[in-house]
Structure 1
């Protein structure tokens, strides 16, 4: 490009567009008989730069082209008046992609500009490209019926003008939106058909996008093993064809599926690779989010908070998308719950639910509902949790009733949320928890299965009897928690087994009369008395008055209790006492 003006005219006249720019119309004329123009070269170069991950360079090239078109400089147009609306619209759609990927905007203003440029013009491939780009934007930023209609219109228009490459792009978007709308089988069939056709035509960029979207959609509906398989295939394809940008997105979606399958070591490796080598900020944001989710499940909320802050920084404030913001909300909510900050849990959930969850976002909504319901169940009986509790439960329940369950994974989440809401209301049902466990047992979600097995065992033991069944559930849950490194869950299982005098490593012997639950935790009788009052929300001075000891002695007892329980504050100690039902009378 830098040598264009210095090259002899005879040399330039023999060049022809090489057609790597999709719908872009080379010089507005017949590329077979008309030589390459400088603007054509800019179009080819911008696409090449974008596909190989050099987005800054691509954006610079696009800006140069738009300046030439606006100024009407020689060589910028084949049409009269120095203006070419179709080519300008094409460059604006490219600019939309680039500013989104660079985190400098959501890209909609650029799309709107392109739409204005083609309005009223005869049908063309560029017009179809603008429609397809708008539909793709809607899928990411405003999924729902309107975006689905936009995608259908883009497909029809591309067919009218015979632009199959653009048609494939629009069909891929349409397939993803169909899955979001509950038309699972037909939507996936459309996406797989696009992948096959793109490969047959040698449309490597579109095939790379198909691999990216398929891995994401399969993961969202609980078909994570299929997502891993298609992701691995796509990663190899992208590397073979130099699609470094697509490779980052495919790897991120592959890692998300591995996380769900309990392959956390592999997830961490992929996430660290993305942080070190990704060509844009959003895959790095996804990587940091995955590391945060692993950290919080492994009982390290402080590390999770640091990773969450990294993710927020990588995503930036200029291009908010539900697939990013709602996943970050899930992490934030999980950290607050792990640290016993119920007020923050409620605030985070209320913020996420404030505008509702339109079609296309339910995949992200269900985990939020489950986390919020679980936090309320864990806090039941805590005096500090009573204010605002009724409103919080109402919001959780109302939100859950508005979400759909077209796939087994979402139905399992719905059952889990319902069981937690019953527990939060003091109406826990062992049979309901058995149903939740059966739902997750049919899925590849080992962490969630271990979690609900623990909860089922707790409900069985609380109802009396069923010790053998509870023991089997706890052993399976404990094995999984230990294998995953889910420290908090493993400790909860161990404490429950200890309280019930169940062995986790082998079948239990006949049970002897069990000591007091708090005694199993190494607490002295006096410390048990103090913990009972801490769980009831008493201050050190109130504890001292009730037990006829000095406030200083009460403070010493509280410090000893925190150390023995392995918690950092009174709130966590109280929550643990309620969770383990150490003092039923105070619940």
Structure 2
């Protein structure tokens, strides 16, 4: 009999165990954390985890899952299935379903016995599945910390990695600890795990921990713990040298050393010999049994082994007992597995070709017969492939592909599709077996590739199908063209519109099904986002008629959505708004259409300057998404839509937190770009110009690639380029085609929601260029300003003003027109006209003005007053600008205020002026209006309503008045104002500004 398999105490891992315990302590305190544990095979990852989980089981819920080695195509969600089974075993089915919340039906994807039959399990897609698992772990962690262990993720399928990545990103303030292990030597260049690990490395809540080999003293301690006595120096040197400090090899060498008859030279010299040494000492029947088990996989059910092993029950029992006694196998109530996967791999690699085919065929047949429970089609396909029986592997792979699709395991589905294509020509009647033609299978595989994130490969496959001379009808060709159009749009590449129009030509009116309707709505959407509004309206209207013909409520909602948005942009505000509202009614009960409506409706409210409405709409959608269990998947888009209104309302901390949370969850490409634009500008206005410029350089490529396809992105990027360029002193960058030049693009079509704010930025750049030209600091001999002169700048301004006049119907146009007038005011057109800045300041106090414009226009008004020689007025206005910027956190304005104070010797501390006559107290015209209303006893909210400004702006005015009058209360202000004649001076009607 061999020595005990392992040391009764863990050797050389005290610091590693402490590291895991430290992470667990942080988790127990309320912070989700993850650990990625790596090391070579045999280094002791499982032993360390066993010791760790044993130490925390009394205070935590520990669930474990094991990845399965099925070669190149892994079984979908195999370790997650193990987690769910472990969880149900510990907590019970009902408790698990209750904790899973509204998305509990989607758990049937992982464990069919969990899912209620009454619900549509595919509603919400893979995002809902991910969210449900996150909600499940969150709920469980409220009672006690949850430790989720997944071993050997180097064998994990893409769907499992995607789910794990989501959990790591999504679980932040919950008591959940995720521990993943992998063999470092098995993750070669190009391995799917590399990208997964790189993604995790960007998350601050993930720790990487690598297990090192044991030292010679540790090996000696391990040997003593196993043998009970010390080893002589020669023996320990031999064991240490041969094992190289790998604990598993130390155990094997010590066991062999105990059984050998000769000296140390008889110990194996190679790793293969060491792994097979125990196996080769067993009886021939036991060796035969172990060869069969090695073909079964990491863990083999007794029922399966009994079916495949040809030696009979007695031989099986005898062989198993010997293998367990020799520390080759371990067993539980129903399964067998090798003590270490390395031994299993060595025995399997040693199989003869005939044995390999025979054993794998045996397991495939047994699995197909239902032995050992419900068969996993991917495992059946794997065994038939290794048996080289393609005729039987083909239908098994077809079933596996369907199972993978049903489980949202798109990467596995794609790999199985590629496997079918690889053996297609070796299987008679392949089209009959798969139920589709080869080109249809390629289209299906391309769809899976795209859903798995491999869009370039999906496009290549569609191109290959399109180039195939196989006969296809117009509908099949249209679907291929549609798919390629979607894939190109998914990558932010041009060409979608032409492909969609080619597809539409092949689907005439009256064609059964929804394909024509989908093409029409897609074309309407694509034309809208590039600014071809008339074409967008035409396609949307035709899509609406098509939806009525086919009875598709979803297409009807989408058509109304697109048609309404396009009409609003086109200037048909009332009819467009009515049409957009019908999209919500038509979408009732359809989650996809309703999400699309809420996204567009909240975005449009923001563009129209109704920031409170936009925020309320977005947050209502987020709340509904949370109720449905998709808050961090599809609800993420609505959460992203809350960012811009929050910024406009001056709630910058909330906006920034939402941006970071959304970006961490990796929203779709377009929304990632929108969020990054918002974050850059928010960082800039907070005063961190360097960080804003760095972020722009880092994200520039992706932002510019999408800007070629979307007007919204193009002008959003242009604003970033211009504002960052101005703040960083990069006037040439601000003047570039991506900045000011956006208005000169040949395909520019007026869309006021995006044009107007960008025109105000462009006017600021133009004014700065005029100053540089006048002072001789502009290089007009070469570079971006070559040949620029006053006439060219005047013509450019005239074109912009013509565009302003054309877009004056937009509700926020008065604000942006006033800003353009102010930026380009004065005799030289450089922005030093006091009256223009007073008008812009008044507009900046209106509810439709973004919050940052109030302190910005106050600063610019102070600058204009300095230029005009009005130092007292400049002083007062500068104090207001500083107060407003401080309240908002607008560091960029504060920097400008400090620079102005330094240049003009002004005071920033806001020291009050002495009380006296009305003429000695300097109040602006707006402040006199506010003072009048204060004396009438109105609140800030009431003042805001009377003057059509926000309550927050009213509050800033009240604070400025109290400071100037040198009083502490509103009552005192009214008394001083009355005594000094200020109310008489401000008498008169208060008109709408």
Does the TM-score normalized on the shorter chain lie above 0.5?
A: yes
Counterpart selection for 2:823 from 417, 420, 424: 420
- Equivalent position of 1:346 in the other structure: 735
Q: What does the per-residue CA deviation read over 1:234-269, in whole Å, with 9 as the maximum and x for residues that have no partner?
A: 223344254866434323322122222222222222
Per the TM alignment, residue 358 of structure 1 is displaced from its structure 2 partner at its CA by 4.7
Counterpart selection for 1:402 from 766, 788, 803: 803
Other structure's SS at 1:481 match: helix
Quote the Cα distance in structure 1 between the aligned partners of 2:623 and 2:617.
10
1:429 and 2:816 are equivalent in the alignment: no
1:131 and 2:131 are equivalent in the alignment: no
- Equivalent position of 1:447 in the other structure: 852
- Equivalent position of 2:646 in the other structure: 258
Quote the Cα distance in structure 2 between the aligned partners of 1:344 and 1:279.
29
1:484 and 2:888 are equivalent in the alignment: yes
Map 1:492-571 → 2, pairs under 5 A: 492-497=896-901, 499=904, 501-509=906-914
Quote the Cα distance in structure 1 between the aligned partners of 2:535 and 2:891.
44
Aligned residues: 473
Change (3 A) 1:227 1:46: farther
- Equivalent position of 2:617 in the other structure: 230
Quote the Cα distance in structure 2 between the aligned partners of 1:465 and 1:316.
44
Which has the larger share of helix? 1
- Equivalent position of 1:194 in the other structure: 583
Counterpart selection for 2:538 from 149, 153, 169: 149
Other structure's SS at 2:721 match: helix
Change (3 A) 1:214 1:154: same
Quote the Cα distance in structure 2 between the aligned partners of 1:108 and 1:190.
24
- Higher RCO (C-alpha under 8 Å, 6+ residues apart): 1
Change (3 A) 1:49 1:361: farther
Change (3 A) 1:7 1:312: closer
Structure 1: which 5+ residue stretches go unaligned?
Answer: 13-35, 74-81, 512-587
Quote the Cα distance in structure 2 between the aligned partners of 1:411 and 1:369.
13
Which has the larger share of strand? 2
Quote the Cα distance in structure 2 between the aligned partners of 1:339 and 1:86.
54
Change (3 A) 1:508 1:222: same
Per the TM alignment, residue 67 of structure 1 is displaced from its structure 2 partner at its CA by 8.2
Map 1:165-314 → 2, pairs under 5 A: 165-198=554-587, 200=588, 202-239=589-626, 240=628, 242=630, 246-314=634-702
Quote the Cα distance in structure 2 between the aligned partners of 1:276 and 1:431.
46
Contact 1:481/1:487, CA 8 A, preserved across alignment:
yes
Counterpart selection for 2:506 from 117, 125, 148: 117
Change (3 A) 1:120 1:367: closer
Per the TM alignment, residue 407 of structure 1 is displaced from its structure 2 partner at its CA by 3.1
Contact 2:625/2:634, CA 8 A, preserved across alignment:
yes
TM (normalized to structure 2)? 0.43
Change (3 A) 1:279 1:372: closer
Change (3 A) 1:455 1:236: same
Quote the Cα distance in structure 1 between the aligned partners of 2:641 and 2:553.
27
TM (normalized to structure 1)? 0.69
Change (3 A) 1:396 1:463: same
Q: What does the per-residue CA deviation read over 1:40-86, in whole Å, with 9 as the maximum and x for residues that have no partner?
A: x9999999989xx945379988998998999899xxxxxxxx74533
Change (3 A) 1:60 1:162: farther
Contact 1:337/1:345, CA 8 A, preserved across alignment:
yes
- Equivalent position of 1:558 in the other structure: none
Quote the Cα distance in structure 1 between the aligned partners of 2:398 and 2:672.
45
Contact 1:502/1:508, CA 8 A, preserved across alignment:
no
Q: What does the per-residue CA deviation read over 1:280-328, in whole Å, with 9 as the maximum and x for residues that have no partner?
A: 3332222222221123223333322221133333346376322112211
Q: What does the per-residue CA deviation read over 1:95-119, in whole Å, with 9 as the maximum and x for residues that have no partner?
A: 4334322335552343134223214
1:383 and 2:776 are equivalent in the alignment: yes
Quote the Cα distance in structure 2 between the aligned partners of 1:413 and 1:46.
50
Quote the Cα distance in structure 2 between the aligned partners of 1:285 and 1:344.
20
Per the TM alignment, residue 134 of structure 1 is displaced from its structure 2 partner at its CA by 0.7
Contact 1:370/1:416, CA 8 A, preserved across alignment:
yes
Change (3 A) 1:258 1:176: same
Quote the Cα distance in structure 1 between the aligned partners of 2:755 and 2:630.
35
Structure 2: which 5+ residue stretches go unaligned?
Answer: 1-376, 382-393, 403-433, 781-787, 917-993
Quote the Cα distance in structure 2 between the aligned partners of 1:464 and 1:402.
34
Quote the Cα distance in structure 2 between the aligned partners of 1:253 and 1:56.
24
Per the TM alignment, residue 483 of structure 1 is displaced from its structure 2 partner at its CA by 3.3
Other structure's SS at 2:910 match: coil
Per the TM alignment, residue 360 of structure 1 is displaced from its structure 2 partner at its CA by 5.5
Quote the Cα distance in structure 1 between the aligned partners of 2:809 and 2:442.
43
Contact 1:143/1:361, CA 8 A, preserved across alignment:
no
Quote the Cα distance in structure 2 between the aligned partners of 1:118 and 1:127.
6
Per the TM alignment, residue 210 of structure 1 is displaced from its structure 2 partner at its CA by 1.0
Quote the Cα distance in structure 2 between the aligned partners of 1:59 and 1:183.
40
- Equivalent position of 1:579 in the other structure: none
Q: What does the per-residue CA deviation read over 1:109-161, in whole Å, with 9 as the maximum and x for residues that have no partner?
A: 43134223214764653212211111111111233222222222222232233
Q: CA RMSD in A?
A: 4.0
Other structure's SS at 1:422 match: coil
Change (3 A) 1:506 1:263: same
